[in-house]
Chains A and B, each alone.
Chain A
Amino acid sequence: MDNREELIAYIEELEKENKKLRRRTVRLERDVIMLSSLNDCALYLRDYNEEERSRSIIELAEAKEKAEHANKAKSNFLRSMSHEIRTPMNAIMGMDEMILKESREEETLKYASDIKTAGETLLSIINGILDLSKIESGKMEITDSEYELKDVVNHVLNMTRSKAFEKGLKYNVEVDDDTPAMFYGDELRLRQIMINLINNAIKYTEYGSVEVLISYDPQGGFLKIEVKDTGIGIRKEDAERLFKSFSRLKDSVERQIEGTGLGLNITKELAMLMGGDVTFESEYGKGSIFRAYVKHKALGDLKYKAARDLVPEPGPGDTEILFSAPAVRVLVVDDNDMNLDVIGALLKPTGIRVKEAASGMECIERLKKSGFDLVLLDQMMPGLNGDETLRMIREEHIADDTPIIALTADAVIGAREEYLKLGFADYLSKPVAYKDLETILMKHLPSELYTLTEVKKKEETKPKVLVVAPTTEELDAIRHIMGTNADGVFVKDEEKAEKYLSKHSVDYIVRRGDGK
């Protein structure tokens, strides 16, 4: 092949390549045109999408507003309904308390006691509904202050211990040695969380124990509460519904355990409001462990154990304190006659002179005419409500030095703070319990106006039973059977039984039936 042929072959090769390149160029150009058209379409879609997004945002906002409106309406309804229920409850429970105080007939006392138990249950349901409505409407506020852990523990123990003992459960509250004594956080909400979890554990445990462990995580700044029970436990399929409002598990319904299904929901919401949460683990049929943690700041170096050892453990004594204040004049303002009667009846044993007013205006008129040492002022009244009445009293300087206590049926968490902000000296929730009323009086009346007399408590009439059985399980079983019908003393061997009998007398002795 000469150079000329090589050149021709080379040119042919180039032409062939050129043809391919031109073809590819055409393809690329067509692809570009097609892509450009696609881009136009993409722009329409993008514009459409943006319009859709704007529309969605507006619709979302509208839906949110509607939902909020509906939620607000629901909260208002619950609040109003709870108020409506609380008002007659005040009369029922107040009168019932008077029967319990004054009656000497055993049967009447039993009926009154049953009314009290049922009333308290109903009240706790109403409180739960009110708390939830407040949480859902975003009005729940956390009020932090310094507090001592031992006060919380004592309060919680006092509120829960009797229920555990009534069921014959072993009940123990333990605080880890490294837990600080003082904290900064919302003490009231902490108490509520603990009481809810512990009461729940007691409620769902028929045999065995409820153990509470309190500890502190200094790194995260979390105060931790662990409540362990040997109760019915939670099925896996129920776990998701556990923290939902008004959702009750199949077991609790089947076993006819009272409740609204609000407690755990509120507990979790409260813990979350305090930067924490509530978690749980459970084995169905064996028990559950609930863990709550809240962000409460530890104050100082003093440990709980050291602080607790400084003061004696509170315990039930043989005596009670009687409050008496015959020189005191109290004005009770309420548009409901029965409520006025209840307060009057509750105050009767104290000797306090009670005057009544049925409206805000009447209250003002009475205060203008004569002085009172304390005013109990209802909130929801026709005409001037409590808040407006207080404002007029203060504006007109009618009773500048008189403590005015808000009386309200809207008892939700944080209510006290609200009333203090409005200028009330304190707050008393309906139904009014005598102990709460007495505490308010002692707190706001000058000490020279009342006396406290220590008197011996009315003797218990329950039989005292000595139980002797070799194992804890057997003792627990007998404790459970006895419930609150008798005062039991439980020992594992005869030696201890004899030792006890040498110093005390008992009505009955129960021994395991094996002849020992």
Chain B
Amino acid sequence: MNIRTFISFFLMGLILVAVQIFLLKNLALFGVALCFLYLLIILSLPVSIGHIPLILLSFGIGLFIDMFYDTMGIHAASATFIGFIRPYWLKVISPTGGYDDSNEPTLKEMGMGWYFTYAVPMIFFFSLIFFSIDQWGTGGFFGVLNKSFFSSTLTFLLAILVQLLFFKKRRGI
């Protein structure tokens, strides 16, 4: 990771977090579909990033979002989990020939089919953990599933849209 990709990542993260806090925080489609677009930061970090920095970063981002949501620790707990399972999941679904060191797991680099198998389960597990903690003790597993399903659908669709519109495909080396 050179300094240029680092800076562009940093800016992207900043913008996504700002969008999450200012716009998506108040959005709840039909009362069930929330959008966790900031997961895109964790999802599109380069493949070569170390496991420990990844977990720490996920925790930090989650905590920062929590401060604005007043849901102390819930985003942090779920985001940390995503950061933790990401390398294992990447290994499971690695394409034939493995990854390049400079690979980023984004839509434009890896293609739609791969990206779907990569992102959807991660986002769904995030939502599942998030809503399970949030609804803890209020009962209603169906409500949790319902919210998770629609939230992860919305998040995934928005993630695809953002990547199609704003992510540039890197030119060949």
- A associates with B: no
Q: Using CB atoms and an 8 Å cutoff, list the residues of chain A in contact with chain B.
A: none
